Structure 1
Amino acid sequence: MPLLAAHVPTMLAAIIVCSLMMAASVALVGWGRRREGLCHWAAALLANAVGHVLLVLRDQIPDGLSIVLGNGVLSAVVSGLTVAIYRFQGRTAPWAVLVIPPVLAAASALAFAGSYAARVACVGIVLGLQFAWALAATLRYRHTTVGRGWWLLATGLGLEALVLLVRSAAALALRGTEANLLQSSGLQTVMFLATLSVVLVSSVGFVFMSRDRADESNRVLAAVDPLTGVANRRSLIAALDRDVGRALRSREPLAVMMVDIDHFKRVNDVYGHPAGDQVLCSVVNVLRERVRAQDLVGRYGGEEFMVVLPDTSLAGAEQLARALCRAVADSRCHLPGGRSGPATEIAVTVSIGVFGGRLEQGDSWDMLIAAADRALYQAKENGRNRVEVATGLRRPAGAATAHGDAASTPPGSPSRG
């Protein structure tokens, strides 16, 4: 027996056991997460165990089961893995790519039942091309896949595709050196090790992909306002705190705007809360279209938004605020008609408070928000649909510390709306 040859039945048994264990593990992880493709992957691993059981029973069961059905099942396994990958990407796999290969694999095994080399070559080409297709599907959408799990998945798929195609060529070149599948050889060892790697490495990679996506979704939920799609209060404060530190080090100016929709309660009362949600999104779109890429727009709370403007002077921030105020006033929120009534256009305006300039040691993010907030209240008192500017920083009575929420309502201030 060659030095590199391993006992084939033992390797087949290892593949069967690993497939069953990984199938159970992936199914447990994917329970209730059908859109992730994990259940499809688990089903494919279960079929992989069945296919290898049929192979290991060669000469103990009819050849139609061991050879023909066994090879067809193994091809169906790759189809199942491909379905799982497509499902994870939110796509539907082409039925021809899934159905035709198993039929070809079973037909090839039947046609060359008496020639081991020809059978290995034909079935190996079918399976190798299937793995190559699954690899291509993985790589095509790699930029939309977060994390590094796809590297493990692609490595396992690529290795198996390469080994199968090389084995097919070697089977024809070394015809006659192997009498059947269960005969040990170095080539057989490499092939079954590659198969084991797909069961282990690619499965772990696929699970990691699902976990990384869940982590990214949780990160987005923690940082983004679900209605408007902009930063929420928590991520706004974190970004402003970071920008304050950078502005103190670089001595560059920093500006903050507090933007509040005028008479927003009236919109909800007259048109309903769904219309109010559309107004919020419409105002956000106007803001985002007119700020720079490095600026940050976020929802501070209710109908109030904050705009963080790094490296921006007070004069520049005031000019932008007036442009935003005019743009919102000129825009219209379109409400489609329906059972509740005809299509409607809602005109809205905003009031904006601005603070900007160079910061000094001891200045903090909550002081900037409080200053812009005071200017916003002044804009409300002066008639709304206007911009007011805060010229200095001071901590109002009762304001939160730098480690808490910024003061939003100075004592005695009128209500917003």
Structure 2
Amino acid sequence: MITSSLTLCLAIGWVAKREDRDGLRPLTYCLALHALTYCLYALRGRIPDLLSVWVANVALVSAFSFLIHAVGVFLERRISRWVLLTPVAVVALGFAAFMSNISARMAINGAVFLVQELILLGHLARALRESRGRGIYLLTAGVFLFFLVLAITAIAELSGSERIQSITDPTLAQSLRFLSAFVSLNLVSLGFVLMTKERADERTRQMAMKDKLTDCWNRFRIEEVAQQEMLRLARYGTPVSLIMIDLDFFKAINDQHGHGVGDQILKDFAATVQSCIRNTDVLGRWGGEEFIVLLPASSYFVTAAIAERIRAAVETAEHANGIRITASLGFSSCQSSDSWDAWLARADLALYRAKAEGRNRVEAEMPLLSEDSPSAPGVARLIWSREFETGNRMLDQQHRQLFEQANQLLGAMTGGASRQQIADRVASFLLAMEEHMLDEEALLEKLDYPDCEEHQAQHRRLIERARSLLERYARNELDLAELLHFVIYEFSAQHLLIEDGKYAPFVQRLTLAGR
């Protein structure tokens, strides 16, 4: 025990001697006091009891306090001095009062250690919910092991099955106590060192994914988050969108004012965008003066509002030398069938339209939405076009009717209708949607459409999601924006136009062939 404690103390102390942001220094003090405690225990009977009993146990409880402090430093949580010093004071005063009564001393020691262990386990339990690393598990296992043995030895002492007369008594309880202390010492120390290594690795990883100039995420991180959100969309149906932003005429600023001014404007611009988005949104620099904002759990219409907020904030911000800039923005929402490249390409195309139409504007990905709303582009109404026709009169008529119902629903949602009125309209819309799906499936089966089963599976997923959203909306668990996103974007845009559009050439060929 002494050798292990000193070895770990010297090794960890050498690592922490220059800089300690992770609690390694108080861990070093913990190990030093641990070594001192067992040195004094080993000398029991050959040195005064004041040293081998009183000083040894005060040192041991102080070691635990330093361990709690080390965990607090690592977790960046302030632990009260009273929590750290009260156990030391209780042991110091208690042992001074009961120097001749080992049972009383054991009871005091056990009670204090159990309280300290519970405090430590409480902090570790919270950390386990927040940590992805493995070091925290080793540390928690070490602490819990010692806690368990303390509880067992305390029960044995209280029940009278084990009576300890000296710290060196070779009883089963003492053997378990020392063995668990030795194992815990190594688990706690290795776990703590592994936690600091994992944190250092994470810091390095974070630095590697940050743009040095603007402190935004770089392309690697953006793509990583995007893939995670696409998986979440596929599994849970949670919408996710992205905004591409390009600074207008930025090259002219660099040419006229120099790259130093240009760099500062990029920093200011990033700060402006960051102030317009939510904590869950991810801002990244895609390259040069082009940026991307990923918006998890954001519908098409929420994204439209945020994009417009960014555009207005950029336009009104003033930079050094009185310089003002504008930005063009294009946005798109991810579709369940999208690849990252396809999703990004639609946002890029929308950005291209924004620049082509005069810059300092927001463009949406979907041309089917009219753009006569001053507050958010593309939310006024759905526009039917002959290019959406499948070639089957019944299906096209149903599609147009669904478009009209979606527009009526959109008008109710944006016109101040009550929740019950909106819920009733949505229920009516879903009924028409299901009837259309049944007719469509019957026709595709009759025509032997090759992907009929997959199309039917899409219908089942849409119906299930629609019913779930309506139930959550009725229980006041869902806001209007997500319901609107499903009706207008997921069903009307993605399914009616994109998925149904896939079978249109097949139906048209058979129609021309007379089937």
In the alignment, residue 106 of structure 1 is paired with which amino acid? Answer: A
Specify every segment of 5 or more residues in structure 1 that has no aligned partner in the other structure, as ranges.
Answer: 1-14, 248-253, 392-417
Task: Using the TM superposition, give the Cα deviation of residue 161 of structure 1 relative to its aligned residue in structure 2, in angstroms.
Answer: 2.5
Secondary structure of the residue that 1:385 maps to in structure 2?
Answer: coil
1:233 corresponds, among 193, 200, 219, to 219
Shift of 1:359: 12
Q: Following the alignment from structure 1 to structure 2, what is the Cα–Cα distance between the partners of residues 102 and 187?
A: 24
* Larger radius of gyration between Structure 1 and Structure 2: 2
Preserved CA contact (<8 Å) 1:325 1:386: no
Q: Count matched residues.
A: 359
Q: Greater helix percent: which structure?
A: 2
Give a deviation string over 1:32-68, Cα, whole Å, max 9, x none.
4411001211221111001110111011111111111
**Aligned equivalents of 2:29 and 2:365: distance in 1?**
63
TM-score (norm 2): 0.57
Q: Is 2:242–2:294's contact at 8 Å kept on the other side of the alignment?
A: yes
CA distance in 2, matches of 1:118, 1:145: 40
Residue number among 312, 331, 334 corresponding to 1:330 in the alignment: 312
Determine the structure 2 residue equivalent to 1:401.
none
> Could you state the TM-score of these two structures normalised by the residue count of structure 1?
0.69
Gap change, CA 1:334 and 1:185, over 3 Å in 2: farther
Q: Give the CA deviation at 1:281.
A: 2.3
Matched, 1:383 2:358: yes
Q: CA deviation at 1:385?
A: 1.4
SS of 1:36's equivalent? coil
> Is the contact made by 1:117 and 1:175 (CA closer than 8 Å) also made in structure 2?
no
Matched, 1:223 2:209: yes
Residue 128 of structure 1: how far off its partner (Å): 2.3
One-letter identity of the residue aligned with 1:383? G
Equivalent residue, structure 2, for 1:103: 89
The answer for the alignment partner of 2:269 in structure 1 is 279
Paired residues of 1:325 and 1:349 also in contact (CA < 8 A): no
Q: Residues 68 and 107 of structure 1 are in contact (CA less than 8 Å); yes or no, is this contact kept in structure 2?
A: no
Counterpart contact for 1:118–1:171, Cα < 8 Å = no
Structure 1 residue matching 2:21: 3-state secondary structure? helix
**Amino acid paired to 1:20:** L
| Distance in 2 separating the partners of 1:245 and 1:68 | 60
The answer to which of 165-174 and 133-142 deviates more is: 165-174
Paired residue type of 1:384: R
Instruction: Identify if the C-alpha distance between structure 1 residues 145 and 354 changes in structure 2 by more than 3 Å, giving closer, same or farther.
Output: closer
Identity level (%):
30
Let me know the Cα RMSD of the aligned residues: 4.5
On the 8 A contact 1:145/1:213 being kept in 2, the answer is: no
Equivalent-residue separation in structure 2 for 1:321 and 1:170 (angstroms):
64
Equivalent-residue separation in structure 1 for 2:70 and 2:97 (angstroms): 30
1:182-331 to structure 2, matched below 5 A, reads 182-225=168-211, 231-237=217-223, 258-264=244-250, 269=257, 274=264, 276-286=266-276, 288=277, 298-306=284-292, 326-331=308-313
Q: Which moved more, 1:256-265 or 1:115-124?
A: 256-265
Pick aligned residue for 1:22 from 5, 8, 21: 8
CA–CA distance in 2 between the matches of 1:257 and 1:185? Answer: 69
CA deviation after TM superposition for structure 1 residue 283, in Å: 2.5
Report the AA paired with residue 349 of structure 1.
T
Would you say the 8 A contact 1:145–1:209 is kept in 2?
no
Indicate the SS of the match to 2:208: helix
User: Structure 2: 5+ residue runs without aligned partners?
Assistant: 234-239, 367-515
CA displacement at 1:20 relative to structure 2: 1.4
**1:338-381 deviation digits (Å, cap 9, x = unpaired):** xx99xx9x8643124579999999x994x986887687567546
Structure 2 equivalent of residue 77 of structure 1: 63
| Secondary structure, counterpart of 2:64 in structure 1 | helix
Residues 125, 165 of structure 1: 8 Å contact kept? no
1:167 lines up with 2:153 in the alignment: yes
Partner of 2:326: 349
Q: 1:34 aligns to what SS in structure 2? A: coil
Match of 1:10? none
Moved more, 74-83 or 378-387: 378-387
d(CA) in 2 for partners of 1:32, 1:150: 24
State the AA in 1 paired with 2:358. G
User: How far apart are 1:133 and its partner, in Å?
Assistant: 1.5
In structure 2, the CA distance between the partners of 1:174 and 1:297, relative to structure 1 (3 Å rule), is: same
Relative contact order: is structure 1 or structure 2 higher (C-alpha 8 Å, sep ≥ 6)?
Answer: 1
User: Would you say the 8 A contact 2:308–2:362 is kept in 1?
Assistant: no
Contact 1:275–1:335, Cα closer than 8 Å, also in 2: no
